[in-house]
């Protein structure tokens, strides 16, 4: 993702999750399982630490969320992320992460800030490398971030509350 969009996205998501009634808290972690550019948020459940990761695509202008938990009080240390198990099978696992789209409709869903348009001319290539103002980036990012946050509240939070026995 372009750095201008990435900055606007991280700010918008951090503000949105801070306002969430679920009680997400931004976390700084040195875990090697958190990839560069990702932001992670957590909440303490009754018996586990609940996680939400903002996953930003490295090449395209899109992002998604992964949510899950760890019984070990850390960011989930999974060899493969998201987990291969379906959400229905996951309740007994000590660590688990699932993409938000899997909870919505079983698809690998990404929220797109700007559709990919390959450069077919030199002018297209030059345009794609020009800086985007913070105002333009914010205007493009905020409606998409709001849609993703609404999906997180509608689908991930009920799943996490049910599996992790969380109370708001």
Distance separating alpha carbons of residues 2 and 46, to the nearest angstrom? 38
Per-residue pLDDT of the chain (168 residues; tens, 9 = 90+): 888 999 999 999 999 999 999 989 999 988 999 988 899 999 987 778 999 999 999 889 999 999 999 999 899 999 999 999 999 989 889 999 999 999 999 999 999 998 766 667 777 666 667 788 999 999 999 999 999 999 999 999 999 988 877 544
pLDDT at position 124 is 63
What DSSP letter does each residue of 96-109 carry, written as one string?
A: EEEEHHHHHTSS--
Which H/E stretch holds residue 69? strand 62-70
Is residue 50 within 8 A of residue 69, CB to CB? The reply is yes
* Single pTM value for the model: 0.89
Q: Which DSSP state fits 148?
A: H
Helix (H, G, I), strand (E, B) or coil at 35: coil
């Amino acid at each position: 993702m372009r750095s201008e969009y990435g900055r606007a996205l991280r700010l918008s998501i951090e503000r949105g999750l801070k306002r969430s009634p679920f009680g997400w808290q931004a976390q700084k972690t040195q875990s090697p399982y958190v990839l560069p550019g990702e932001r992670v948020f957590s909440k303490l459940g009754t018996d586990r630490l609940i996680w939400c990761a903002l996953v930003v695509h490295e090449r395209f202008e899109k992002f998604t969320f992964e949510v899950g938990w760890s019984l070990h009080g850390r960011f989930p240390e999974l060899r493969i992320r998201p987990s291969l198990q379906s959400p229905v099978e996951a309740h007994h696992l000590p660590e688990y992460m699932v993409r938000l789209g899997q909870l919505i409709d079983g698809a690998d869903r990404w929220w797109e800030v700007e559709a990919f348009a390959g450069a077919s001319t030199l002018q297209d290539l030059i345009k794609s490398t020009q800086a985007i103002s913070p105002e333009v980036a914010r205007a493009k990012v905020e409606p998409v971030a709001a849609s993703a946050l609404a999906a997180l509240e509608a689908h991930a939070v009920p799943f996490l509350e049910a599996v992790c026995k969380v109370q708001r």
